Amino acid sequence: GDSVTQMEGPVTLSEEAFLTINCTYTATGYPSLFWYVQYPGEGLQLLLKATKADDKGSNKGFEATYRKETTSFHLEKGSVQVSDSAVYFCALSDGSSNTGKLIFGQGTTLQVKP
Amino acid sequence: KAGVTQTPRYLIKTRGQQVTLSCSPISGHRSVSWYQQTPGQGLQFLFEYFSETQRNKGNFPGRFSGRQFSNSRSEMNVSTLELGDSALYLCASSLVIGLAGRETYEQYFGPGTRLTVT
């Protein structure tokens, strides 16, 4: 079945460092890809999305490109801030059924130190 | 627009009891999905409702059930609670974008209900 694999965490960076969180997927059909962020004690917030191959999603300085040839959707940010500390989840929609079902990776905890 | 709301936020139950959680989606969203989040299993899909019909179901036992009302509000019920049901239960409502046959379900999550089973 469809699945998402994220790099293991936690990831610890200094403020203003470059961030990459790797995400690869296995899917049938034509899934859409998402990054969600979860702050302590809160639900998930949609960070960015891409709906087809070569699409680039971007928001709040974060970017990710839907790479069909490498089945990847890596999250990047050029300069992280302490406020970016959170858990990040890569997810794909169920491409075979095209409904409101998301399959998530295991999450990557990011800690940014001043 | 108001976001997705879930009630209650926190709940403590004992084994064998049953529990009902409620979710009010964003106005105009017809799809509501439920997820269970635990440290060990991560985020797992429970089920999805669309226009009062269950359209998708995850790999959970029959003790987990749900329904959706005509105003799109949804409830999920867990009967005969077990210790392993302790989790954060998240509800999401979907904004459907794109052309028919190539829709994307952009999901917006509520804050969750933290269920503790003792």
| pLDDT reported for residue A103 | 94
Q: Is A104 in the B-facing interface, judged by CB distances under 8 Å?
A: yes
Which of A44, A51, A109 is best to mutate for the B interface (most B CBs within 10 A)?
A: A44
Q: Does A1 touch chain B (CB under 8 A)?
A: no
Helix (H) or strand (E) holding B56: strand B53-57
The span from the CA of A46 to the CA of A31, in Å, is 16
pLDDT of residue A37: 98
| Token digits of residue A73 | 């959707």
At residue B81, the 3 state secondary structure works out as coil
Closest-CA residue in chain B for A97? Answer: B56
Quick one: pLDDT band at residue A95, thresholds 50, 70, 90? Answer: low
Question: What's the whole-number mean pLDDT along residues A29-48?
Answer: 92
- The region, left, alpha or beta by phi > 0 then psi within -120 to 50, assigned to residue A32 is beta
pLDDT band at B2 (very low <50, low <70, confident <90, very high): confident
Over the stretch B75-110, which tens digit does the pLDDT of each residue have?
999 999 999 999 999 999 998 877 777 777 889 999
For residues A49 and A26, give the distance between their C-alpha atoms in angstroms, rounded to a whole number: 17
Q: Which amino acid is at A93?
A: S
Q: What share of chain A has pLDDT > 70, as a percent?
A: 96
From the CA atom positions of chain B, what is the Rg in Å? 14
Q: What is the DSSP letter of A67?
A: B
